[in-house]
Amino acid sequence: MKRLPVLILVLLILAGRTVRADVSWRTVRTEHFIIHYAAGAESTADRARASAEKWYSILSAKLKFAPVGITPIYLYPDRPTFSDATGFEPGDPIVGIAHTRTFRVRVDASGGFADVEHIIPHELVHVFVSRRLRGYAVRLPLWMHEGLAKYLANDWSGPDVDLLSDAATGGGIMPLQQISRVFPTDDRGRSIAYVESYSAVRYLVEKYSFQAILDLFTELEKNSTFDTALFYSIGQEPAKFDQEWRDFLWEKYNLARWTRFGSAVAWIVMAILAVLAFRSRLMRKRRKALEMEEEERPRRWRPADSNRGALNRGDTESTDDDGNG
């Protein structure tokens, strides 16, 4: 199954130039952003500007935190330019980067893998969380960083659902501790790590409320460890929460699978019964038709019956002659 390119959080400043000298760059400023783009990409810059300001308002309200200052966003016009600026190979499935120290956002704006409207919200979540927590952001496990980014940016799709279901029913779910600091390097493993992260964060929010996330941030800002902050916010240690969430996945997807299987069997049985009932009705109709045909068929003429009738008529006529003579 083809997967959309993943969006990543970079915890260290990557080497590489911010912009290429052989590209003619332009700049547009908004209230909260400065957007750098290549000449001729004004339409892309306008879309990025609108998306960035829209999601600034959404995330400020959701996280109850409004970053001050200007966030720079770099829109790279093609994969080679993006690769040159970030240090990633052009074939790497990466389309956006948020630097958690400089708060720069770098976007592959070529549109070859994803639109800027899809990339920018995800990366802005990383910027908001990093600015809110400052140096304490490194205490958040990677699964929570990425889960929050996908959850808050509504970065969830049908293929994500299918992948999570396949992993849950096929024993492919990794413990959250395993993806706390690094994600798998293979495409499928990394994709599963992202959908797991989203699922875990969504489960936490739906069971304990989004306020639990804000409480966790507050506790981290007191110099607490993540384990302590999570226990403070939801009353569960990470290992206990992990098991609780995995049990939830098993019930949701495995039971759903058996329910779908049972429904499929029921439909098959009903279809077979319907066919048998149809055949039974058809056979009854055929028998009825034969019976009606037999009843309507005229009786065959038999000579014996004709002679007997003539004899009876002769007897009657003879009696009449005697009576008249």
- Digit-coded pLDDT (tens) for 119-150: 999 999 999 999 999 999 999 999 999 999 99
Looking at residue 261, its pLDDT comes to 47
The per-residue pLDDT for range 292-314, each reduced to its tens digit, is 766 666 555 455 554 544 444 44
**Percentage of the chain lying above the pLDDT 70 cut:** 78
pLDDT given at position 254: 83
pLDDT higher than threshold 60 for residue 238: yes
pLDDT digits (tens, 9 = 90+) for 78-128: 999 999 999 888 888 889 999 988 899 999 999 988 999 999 999 999 999
- Judged against a pLDDT cut of 50, whether residue 71 lies above it is answered with yes
Strands 33-38 and 25-29: antiparallel
pLDDT, position 257: 57
Instruction: Compute the mean pLDDT over every residue in the chain, rounded to the nearest whole number.
Output: 84
- Pairs from 253-257 (Cβ < 8 Å, separation ≥ 24): 253/164, 253/165, 253/168, 253/169, 254/168, 254/169, 256/165, 257/165, 257/169
Task: Report which residue type is found at 121.
Answer: P
- Residue 16 clears pLDDT 80, i.e. is over it: no
* pLDDT of 166 over the 70 cut: yes
For the domain made up of 1-139, give the CATH fold.
Answer: Glutaredoxin (3.40.30)
The predicted pLDDT at position 21 comes to 59
Residue extents of the structural domains in the chain: 1-139, 155-268
- DSSP category for residue 11: S
Helices (H), 155-302: 158-169, 187-208, 211-220, 226-234, 238-249, 255-296
Please state the rounded mean pLDDT for residues 146-159. Answer: 96
